Structure 1
Amino acid sequence: MTTTGTAPSLVIGLGCRRGCSAQELLALIEDSLSQAGIALSAIRGLASIDLKRHEPGLLQLATRLNLELEVFSAAQMAEFAPLLSHRSAIALTQTGCSGIAESAALALAAHLSGAPAKLLITRKKSSVATFALACAG
């Protein structure tokens, strides 16, 4: 039996503290994906909040993984707030967004597919970063 259509776009949303290294981000990603049984090669994009567009660790990670880093404003990510598993008052105060990793992942998945997005892996965190995985399509 053959299936038609395209595979869902799996995308990662990331939040991080200033100065977070690409290696620290990669360790969080690999651990989170491994626990879910998802290969890193299945990932189609990375996303974060626009305040992080020049963050060296995120840019180095994107280059290392050969993936685009897409950024979204807090206003663009606000529509996904009802879908978040966790809301951070600190993140909201500092960035205008209550959940950067989850919101960014949902925003990118919806943007790439033009379809409703859903979280496949809710927020995971390390001492310096947050991760979420979303898909659509």
Structure 2
Amino acid sequence: MTDNSAVPTLVVGLGCQRGCPVSTLRALLDQALQAHRIELSQVKALASIDLKREEPGLIELAAQLELPLMYFSSEQLAGYQPQLSHRSDIAFERTGCYGVAESAALALAEQLAQAPAKLLISRQKYAQATLALAGAA
């Protein structure tokens, strides 16, 4: 049995505009991972805000990648505000939290690893979507 303790739990947080195509989300993901030399196989799960529960692009991306997609409420995400690299007033107006991608990534990495998480890729914006990657050891 291999020891996985050295491998951080990596989680991708995603935010997107309504109707954002899966191709856009996938392009953003591939680009971010390549830039940071992270293998897609290292990503354990995807996270977003519960307002996006019905978003076809997110659901399709999770299906393509065969990864779980978890959702958090704005209340759950609000606690991560001090760790955000970027605070979006528009995001706050629309969702009640200042950064969906970063907050969701942190929240899920922390939940899965039962340990404090940190942002490894801060908010990347691309067309209609935002992405962040958090890890917890």
- Aligned in 2, Cα 1:83/1:19: closer, same or farther, shift over 3 Å? same
Equivalent position of 1:40 in the other structure: 40
1:5: how far off? Answer: 2.5
Query: How high is the TM-score relative to the length of structure 2?
Result: 0.96
Q: Structure 1 residue 99 and structure 2 residue 110: aligned?
A: no
Q: Is the 8 A contact 2:74 2:95 kept in 1?
A: yes
For structure 2, list consecutive stretches of 5 or more residues without a partner in the other structure. none
TM-score for both structures, normalised by structure 1:
0.96
Q: Which runs of 4 or more aligned residues in structure 1 lie more than 3 Å from their structure 2 counterparts after TM superposition?
A: none
Measured against aligned partners, the alpha-carbon deviations of 1:34-82 in whole angstroms (never above 9, x if no partner) come to 0001111110000000000110000000000000100000000111100
How many residues were matched structurally? 136
Please report how far the alpha carbon of residue 3 of structure 1 lies from its aligned counterpart in structure 2 after TM superposition: 6.5
Query: 2-side partners of 1:8 and 1:42: how far apart?
Result: 9
Q: How much has 1:4 moved relative to structure 2?
A: 6.6
Aligned Cα root-mean-square deviation (Å)? 1.3
Find the aligned partners of 2:132 and 2:35 in 1 and give their Cα distance: 13
Give matches, 1:1-137, under 5 Å: 5=5, 7-137=7-137
Counterpart of 2:12, as a letter, is I
